[in-house]
Amino acid sequence: MQRNSGQASIRFQLFRLVLAVSAIALAFSVIGGALLEWKLQYQQIRQSLATTARAAGMAASAAIAFHDKKAAGEALHILAAQKEIEVAAVYPLEGYRLASYGDDADLPDTIGSLSEHLPSFALWSPSTTLFIPILLDGATIGHIYLRASLHDYHRIYLEQAFLAISTNLLGLILAIGFGLRFIRHIVKPINDLAHTARQVRESKDFSLRATPPEAGAPNNEITELLDSFNAMLTEIELREQMLTNYQSSLERRVLERTEDLHSANRDLLVAKESAEAATQAKSRFLAAASHDLRQPIQAINLFNEALNRTALSNEQKSISNFLGQSIRNLGELFDALLDISKLDAGANIPRPEMISVHTLFSGIDSEFSALASAKSLRFKLHFPFNGMTLVTDGKLLQRLLRNLVGNAIKYTTQGGVMVAIRRRGDEALIQVIDTGIGIAPQHVKTIFEEYFQVGNPERDKSKGLGLGLAITKRLASLLNTKIVCRSDLGKGSVFEFRLPLAHT
C-alpha cells in the first residue's frame, strides 16, 4: 500500500510540532515580557515625577510659607525643563490654590475638589497625575499637584515592543531553521529505510541495503532500526542463495539421473538387439538343421516301409509298426520345430492377396469333414450367402485355420465343430467354435505357450506336441491380428480373430 508522502509524512508532522512549540513559547515570552516592562516603566515614570514634584515643592516652600503668589509661580517654572509636565499647582494648608503652571483652565481652585482629578491607575490614559505633600523641616506646609503627559512614554514603549517582537520573530525563524535541520537529521534515515524497503519489495532484489548510519552518529532507536533491517536483508539474501543453490543442485541431479537412465536405456536396447540377433541366429541354425535332419528321417521311413513289405515274423512286423509310428512322430516334431524356427527367424514374409471365402472354405472342408464324420461330429461352415473377400496371405491363413480346426475336432467328442465368417464393419470376424471339452479359465492364456498341453503332463507324443497354438499365435501376429479364446469347461470353446475385408 502506497501512503501519500505529502501531508502525513513524518517530516511534516515533526515540522508542525517544532513550529507549534516555538510559537507558543515565544508568544508567552513576548506577552509576559511586555506586561512586565509596562509595569516597570510606569513605576519609573511615577518615581521620577515624584522627585520632580518634591524638588518643585521645595523650591516653592518659602513662597508658600509667606503666601507669596508671585514667588510661588516663579518656583513652579523650573518645571518647564520637563516637557511632559502639562499642569502643576501648589496648595497651602489653607486649601486654596496659591500658584499654577501650564494650562490651568480646568484646575479647581481648592484642594477639596481636587480629588476628582486624581488618577485611578489606567495604563492607556493619555496622562498621569500626582498629588503629594510639601515638607519643610519635617512638617507639611502644603501640597503640590502635577499632571504629566504619557505620550512619550507610550511612544517609547511601542518602539520597544516592536523591537522585542522583531527579535522574537527572528528567534522563531532561527528556531524553525534549526528545527528543520534537526528534523532532516532524524527523518533522512527513516526516509532512506522506507525507500529501500519499497525498492526491495518491488524488485525482489535482496542485495539492496538501507544507507547505514554515518560514522560517529549517536546510537539511538533509528540506528538500531537501520542495523536490524540490513541484518534482516542479509539473512534473507543468504537464504535465497541457499535456495538457489539447492535448486540448481537438484536440477543437476535430475539431469544426471536422466542421463544415467538414458545410457541404461541405450545399454538395454543394445542388449535387446543382440539378444534378438542371437535368437534369430539360433532359429536360422535350427531351421537349417531341421531341414537337414528331415532327409535321413525320410530315408529311415522308406527303409522301414521296404522292410515291412518283406517276409517278417509277427514279432518283427509289430516292431516295424512301432518303428513307423515313432518315425512319423519324429517327422511331425521336426515339421513343427521347422515351422516355429522359420517364423521366429522371420523367414516368412506375408504376401497379402484377395482371398475369397469360398476358396478358403472348400480347402478346409475337403481336409476336415471326413475326420469329423469319422468321430461322428457335425462339421459346419457358415459364411454370408453372397460370399466375401479377405485381404490377407492365403497360405498363412490356411495353416492358421488348419491348426484351430484340427484342435477343435481333436478335443471334441460329441456335438460338432463350426467355422464361421461374419462381417463386422470393414472387417471379417472368423470363429472356430466347438462343443468339446473346453479349457479351464486359468489355462486359457497358457495354451498359446510352447509345449503346453492341459491334459498331457506325461508328455505322450501320440497325444500331440503342444506346439500347434504356439505356431498359430505367430501366424496371427504375421497376419497382423490376434487370436482370442473364450471357453467353458465341459461345454466348448471359441477361438476367433479379425482380418481386413476387401473394399467392394
By the criterion CB under 5 A, which residues form the site for Mg ion? 407, 468
What Rg do the C-alpha atoms of the chain give, in angstroms?
71
Nearer to ligand ADP, 296 or 457 (CB): 457
Q: Which does 57 bind (CB under 5 to 8 A by kind): ligand ADP, Mg ion, none?
A: none
CB of 472 to Mg ion, least distance (A): 8
Q: Using an 8 Å Cβ cutoff, are 345 and 283 in contact?
A: yes
The answer to the question of residue 436 lying near ligand ADP (CB under 6 A) is yes
One residue of 52, 466, 476, 481 binding ligand ADP per CB under 6 A:
466
The answer to the question of residue 469 lying near ligand ADP (CB under 6 A) is yes
The answer to the question of residue 468 lying near ligand ADP (CB under 6 A) is yes
Nearer to Mg ion, 4 or 462 (CB): 462
Nearer to Mg ion, 226 or 470 (CB): 470
Supply 88's cell numbers: 502643576
Q: Is 415 exposed, middle or buried (0-12, 13-18, 19+ CB in 10 A)?
A: middle
Instruction: Compute φ and ψ for 467, nearest 5 degrees.
Output: -110, -15
Q: Which does 416 bind (CB under 5 to 8 A by kind): ligand ADP, Mg ion, none?
A: none
Query: Looking at residue 502, what DSSP letter applies?
Result: P
Stretch that binds ligand ADP, among 99-107, 210-218, 384-392, 430-438 (CB under 6 A): 430-438
List, in order, residues 6 or more apart from 382 with CB less than 8 Å away.
Answer: 418, 419, 420, 421
CB of 497 to ligand ADP, least distance (A): 14
The answer to the question of residue 95 lying near ligand ADP (CB under 6 A) is no
The answer to the question of residue 400 lying near ligand ADP (CB under 6 A) is no
Binding marks (x or -) toward ligand ADP, 351..390, rule CB under 6 A? ----------------------------------------
Query: Looking at residue 325, what DSSP letter applies?
Result: H
Supply 295's cell numbers: 532327409
CA distance 126 to 124: 6
Q: Which does 420 bind (CB under 5 to 8 A by kind): ligand ADP, Mg ion, none?
A: none
Query: Looking at residue 209, what DSSP letter applies?
Result: -
CB of 423 to ligand ADP, least distance (A): 24
Q: Which does 130 bind (CB under 5 to 8 A by kind): ligand ADP, Mg ion, none?
A: none
The answer to the question of residue 408 lying near ligand ADP (CB under 6 A) is yes
The answer to the question of residue 502 lying near ligand ADP (CB under 6 A) is no
Tell me how long the chain is: 504
Q: Which does 466 bind (CB under 5 to 8 A by kind): Mg ion, ligand ADP, none?
A: ligand ADP
Question: CA angle, corner 99, sides to 50 and 52, nearest 5?
Answer: 15
CB of 465 to ligand ADP, least distance (A): 5
Q: Which does 213 bind (CB under 5 to 8 A by kind): Mg ion, ligand ADP, none?
A: none
CA distance 481 to 499: 7
Q: Using an 8 Å Cβ cutoff, are 27 and 139 in contact?
A: no
CA dihedral 147→148→150→153, nearest 10 degrees, is -150
The answer to the question of residue 407 lying near ligand ADP (CB under 6 A) is yes
CB of 438 to ligand ADP, least distance (A): 6
The answer to the question of residue 465 lying near ligand ADP (CB under 6 A) is yes
Please choose, from the candidates 368, 302, 370, the residue with its C-alpha nearest in 3D space to the C-alpha of residue 331.
302
Q: Is 139 exposed, middle or buried (0-12, 13-18, 19+ CB in 10 A)?
A: exposed
The answer to the question of residue 416 lying near ligand ADP (CB under 6 A) is no
One residue of 493, 497, 499, 501 binding ligand ADP per CB under 6 A:
493
CA distance 311 to 336: 35
The answer to the question of residue 490 lying near ligand ADP (CB under 6 A) is no
Q: Which does 483 bind (CB under 5 to 8 A by kind): Mg ion, ligand ADP, none?
A: none
3-state DSSP call for residue 288?
A: helix
The answer to the question of residue 430 lying near ligand ADP (CB under 6 A) is no
Q: Which does 436 bind (CB under 5 to 8 A by kind): Mg ion, ligand ADP, none?
A: ligand ADP
- Which residues 162-201 are close enough to bind ligand ADP by CB under 6 A? none
Nearer to ligand ADP, 175 or 437 (CB): 437
Cα–Cα distances (Å) from 258 to 252, 255, 272, 323, 337, in that order, read: 10, 5, 20, 63, 43
Query: Looking at residue 78, what DSSP letter applies?
Result: G
CB of 446 to ligand ADP, least distance (A): 8
Q: Using an 8 Å Cβ cutoff, are 140 and 117 in contact?
A: no
Supply 486's cell numbers: 473364450
Residues that bind ligand ADP (CB under 6 A): 407-408, 411, 434, 436-439, 447, 452-455, 464-470, 493
